[in-house]
Amino acid sequence: MALFLETSTVLLRRIKDIRPFTAKRHRVKGKWATTLPKHPPTRLALQHFDATYSAQLGDLWPSVRVALLSERKYGALLNNFCHNPDLEELQAQGCRDFINSGEANRSYLMFSSASFKQGSDLGAEEDSSRVSTVTDEEEEKVESPVRLSPNIKCLVFPRGDVTRFKPARPDKFGLLSYYLMDAASVLPSLALDVQANHTVLDLCAAPGGKALALLQTQSARFLCLNDSSVSQTSRLKRVLHSYAPKELLTDDKLRITSVDGTMWGEIERNSFDRVLVDVPCTTDRHSLMEDDNNMFSRSRVGERRSLPRLQEELLLAGIIAACPGGEVLYSTCTLCPSQNLGVVERAVQLAEENHGIRLQVVSLRPLVRMFRNTFHFAPDLHLGEMVVPHLAANFGPIYMCKIRRLT
């Protein structure tokens, strides 16, 4: 035994490079190893969220945290312009259209026939403070009836079912049967309440899920889709050509632009019946799961800190672009208050002070009642509504606030 050990030692001394004897999968180039970030963006994002969201959400944060770190749940936005070859198969697997299900329709019949004070079920004191932060008007606000487009359909698997959707198949005309997206991302398009002959602006339209939902309503007389990124706009065009027939993509019905959204108020003022402002944000779920294109990268600290200002400018531009009597829907996919209700409060204040525009918050509480068995909504939100992730229904986060322009 001693002779074997001595021989082995001598042999190892003679071998200057042992890499040929090391399995390839275990080799590490020193240069690469030293350049790996010690604190990847995903870890920095989690540390930031633990510090801020734990104080914001309290006892709710641990469950939201686990859900954010788990695989998200998707919905299948059905394409009305396609002969859907997958619909029967999906229904056989237990999928249901959460928008037009019997459960949602019962909620609609229960709550849409009566008028409610803004936030009436949250108490009178909270109601008054909620309104005063947005407008000086002391008149009573009422909840608008929920009018859902019968043409928007989105299939989801039952609560707790984490089955993945298969890739959509094209029909004989090459149009795909459904678009996979976070089902909660359909809610802003529903809440916008597009009616017949409305002109609609989607100010930050890429990558295209919400724009596609707006197109599915088949109600808008004219739809304008904008994104400041030329590459993102090209992607948006590819999405539309994969889901919509060419006759719907003509210039008299649809316009796609690539301009700075913050300048839109100077381009077209008082022009649109409905405006969707789905702004760039920290994208919480992506920030926790992907290091690529992560807003918490050290090289993007300045960009991240300036996000609320950019969001405020985009919302203000959307408000100016809306016509009097029109409505604006602001949305993000973050839990961050400074990017959500903080942006709404500042933009509304600037609209009144600098442009003489009076605004009124439209309660989304009826929408919450309608879909509370599909999504988990944050309780006691000061302004707007927010879907929070939950393991049983791992959608979101999605924040929404609807504003009506009075003057």
Q: One of 154, 333, 336, 401 is an active-site residue; which one? A: 333
Respond yes or no: is residue 95 known to be catalytic.
Answer: no
Structure tokens at 47: 């540390």
Instruction: Classify 298 as helix, strand or coil.
Output: helix
The DSSP secondary-structure symbol of 143 reads: P
Q: For residue 207, give every residue at least 6 positions away whose Cβ sits within 8 Å of its Cβ, in sequence order, or none.
A: 232, 235, 236, 239
Which of the 8 DSSP states describes residue 372? T
Reading the block at residue 27, the tokens are: 């080799």
Extract the tokens encoding 387: 């879907």
Tell me the C-alpha distance between 141 and 6, whole Å.
90
Nearest alpha carbon to residue 277 among 216, 362, 360, 205: 205
C-beta of residue 141 within 8 angstroms of C-beta of residue 364: no
- 185: closest CA among 213, 151, 146? 213
CA distance 26 to 7: 26
**CA 76/CA 96 separation, integer angstroms:** 10
CA neighbours within 13 Å on the CB side: how many for 58? Answer: 4
CB-facing half-sphere around the CA of 89: CA atoms within 13 A: 11
Q: Are 277 and 290 in contact (CB under 8 A)?
A: no
Q: 230-243 vs 209-216: helix axis angle to the nearest 10?
A: 40
The first and second tokens of residue 206, run together, are 């890429």
- Torsion angle in degrees (nearest 10) through CA of 7, 11, 14, 16: -150
Residues with catalytic function: 333
